[in-house]
Amino acid sequence: MCGIVGYIGYRPVVPILIQGLKRLEYRGYDSAGIAVLDDRQQLHVIKRAGKVNDLATTVESLPIPSTIGIGHTRWATHGVPNDTNAHPHTDQDRRLALVHNGIIENYQAIRTQLLREGYQLKTETDTEVLTVFIRSFYDKVGDLREAVRLALAEVEGTFGIAIVSPLEPDLLIAARRGSPLLIGLGNNENFVASDAAAVIQYTRNVIFLQDNEISFIQQGEYEIRTIDNQPSAPEIFKIEYDLEQIEKGGYEHFMLKEIFEQPTTFRDACRGRILLEDGNVRLGGLRPVADKLQRAQRLIFTACGTSWHAALVGEYLIEDLARIPVEVEYASEFRYRNPVLSKDDIVIAISQSGETADTLAAIREAKLRGATTLGIVNVVGSTIARETDAGVYIHAGPEIGVASTKAFTSQLAVLSLLAIYLGRMRHLSPEDGRTLLRELQAIPEKIQQILQQAELIQHVALQYKDAANFLYLGRSYNFPVALEGALKLKEISYIHAEGYPAAEMKHGPIALIDENMPVVFIAPRDELYEKILSNIEEVRARGGKIISIATEGDHKIADVSDHTIYIPRTLPYFTPVLSVIPLQLLAYYIAVERGCNVDMPRNLAKSVTVE
């Protein structure tokens, strides 16, 4: 949720921390701060409410000679966003500085204990409590490494932390439980970060800390141990993406760049996986569970937000093409109820980051109950990727915009491949497989055609930027797209929007329709086309403004719509990939016209790693 960066080495640390925080700002942006040790082993802590640029302006006027430090950009959980509650936090005499992602669930009990023992606390945050708690153990044992280990053994909840201290000025400490953290390995220098984007400029070699691991990092070496003091043998991963992929590349916003990357990212999700001659699919990551997939009696998708909408499309795809019953569960609900699972069930987690707290907890619950677990994730080495029995990467590359776009269509690409893969295990013929795969290969070019209508969509956005409400309606495969279109608009423009199955409009939402209500219909030429035309007429009769996403050449629907945005013709299974593109652009341009910060919408962060 928040962003952490740390460094120990030979370079000046402050520019590294500030640059790293700017690259992590999509993870949290209500306050930011750094803590560094100068060449006299004095601790300097500078923190500010607001954006990282506000912090950078302050730091520029305070040159500090230092080669070790930590930084944090915050998305508030405990305590309002202000200078005091910003990270890093220190103990009362500034012998310890700590940054923290996550939530310490028993911090109130620890706080009471610390106050009873005479320690002082200045904020209401759980992070300050953790900092002072570690200091209290140091006062008992006189060893910082042991103090961190003992304190974390008593902590309940989630954390990713980094620590620097004048008590051991040549040591950077990092630890995690439930909140992602990695170590970047350099040449006579090392890094800590919550996301590889912060360190990719300096190194591609990283170690993803596992839950309940602590790393003791020095300039040219590191040691990793578990909280119960057992040595750990880490795996080193190589980050595959380039620095250019996390830059805007001339676009005004990351979101717009990522929308326009979708012809490439969709193609990348399919690359090397299509066996056209056989009418089949190669998903090497599923090879270990291929026999279980062949026998599967039920699939259960679990996800949150945009990934949940992708899962709904996956349900339609797999039930149509493979004839396997599919259920779709909100991870936040699945993890807390008493789901009925068997050893023949397969639970599939979908998560862009691979770190979504609720989705990860749902997968762990499924494993406890004996189900096979799979992951569909974007981030290589993420926790869900490591903890599931098998899985598939979507290969969308780094997605910086908080509102997901290219990850959604890449998820749909993988789900389409998965449906064909499962179908070919059952009744789907090679000929039908080839037909589906040829069309899947044609999708990137069709996405490109839609993107060429950006100026038209911007014109539509200009007319509805002041609307108070929107309604999005679709049927069958395009009902989840209606949900996704509404979510995109809400996330970045702050306009209230709802998505519904078009037929459900008559069961309540039709009461909202008047001349001030824009209604977006996803209305491709499919077997339900005449039905959705009837829904459009019902909205017209009540004065609603109609924006239709229609199949190229469909002039009939243009006659009953105020605005028509065309998508190329495709098979019904793949219409969601095309129909969502205009909705992404519509949301983007409306948000820009309203003056919203598209890449950093209020109250949202990219990866939800806390409950």
> Given this model, what pLDDT does residue 606 score?
59
DSSP string, 124-138: S-HHHHHHHHHHHHH
The yes-or-no answer on residue 304 being catalytic is: no
Q: Contact, 554 vs 532, CB < 8 A?
A: no
DSSP, collapsed to helix, strand or coil, labels residue 561 as coil
Q: Contact, 355 vs 324, CB < 8 A?
A: no
Choosing from 22, 406, 488, 606, the catalytic residue is 606
Q: How far apart are CA 542 and CA 525, in angstroms?
A: 24
> Given this model, what pLDDT does residue 609 score?
52
> Given this model, what pLDDT does residue 402 score?
87
pLDDT tens digit string along 568-603? 999 999 999 999 999 999 999 999 999 999 988 887
167-181 as b/e, with b when 16 or more CB fall inside 10 Å?
A: bbbebbbbbbbbbbb
Q: Contact, 394 vs 296, CB < 8 A?
A: no
> Given this model, what pLDDT does residue 381 score?
82
> Given this model, what pLDDT does residue 136 score?
96
Q: Which residues contact 220 (CB under 8 A, 6 or more apart)?
A: 188, 189, 190
Q: How far apart are CA 341 and CA 347, in angstroms?
A: 9
Q: Provide the pairing of β-strand 43-49 with 31-38.
A: antiparallel
DSSP string, 479-516: HHHHHHHHHHHHHHH--EEEEEEGGGGGGTGGGG-STT
In the chain, what are the domains? 3-239 (3.60.20.10), 249-448 (3.40.50.10490), 453-611 (3.40.50.10490)
| Residue found by looking up tokens 């803590």 in the block | 35
Q: Contact, 450 vs 352, CB < 8 A?
A: no
> Given this model, what pLDDT does residue 248 score?
79
Element containing residue 375 per DSSP (H, E):
strand 372-377
Q: How far apart are CA 462 and CA 457, in angstroms?
A: 9
Tell me whether residue 548 is exposed, middle or buried, using C-beta atoms within 10 angstroms of its C-beta: 0 to 12, 13 to 18, 19 or more: buried
Q: How far apart are CA 97 and CA 20, in angstroms?
A: 18
Ranges of residues in the chain whose predicted pLDDT is under 70: 1, 27-29, 75-81, 243, 605-611
DSSP string, 84-108: TTSSPEE-TTSS-EEEEES-BTTHH
Q: Which residues contact 485 (CB under 8 A, 6 or more apart)?
A: 472, 497, 499, 520, 522, 580, 583, 584, 586, 587
Q: State whether the Cα torsion 441-442-448-451 is positive or negative.
A: negative
Q: How far apart are CA 511 and CA 504, in angstroms?
A: 12
Other CB atoms within 10 Å distance of the CB of residue 231: 8
> Given this model, what pLDDT does residue 608 score?
63
Task: Give phi and psi for 167, each to the nearest 5.
Answer: -65, -35
> Given this model, what pLDDT does residue 478 score?
94
> Given this model, what pLDDT does residue 30 score?
80
Q: Contact, 193 vs 64, CB < 8 A?
A: no
Rounded (10°) CA dihedral 129, 135, 141, 145: 90
> Given this model, what pLDDT does residue 470 score?
95
pTM of the model: 0.84
Which DSSP state fits 371? -
Choosing from 2, 270, 304, 596, the catalytic residue is 2
CA distances (Å), origin 559, targets 224, 537, 540, 547, 556: 66, 11, 11, 12, 5
> Given this model, what pLDDT does residue 144 score?
96
> Given this model, what pLDDT does residue 458 score?
96
Q: Among 345, 302, 303, which Cα is nearest to 324's?
A: 345
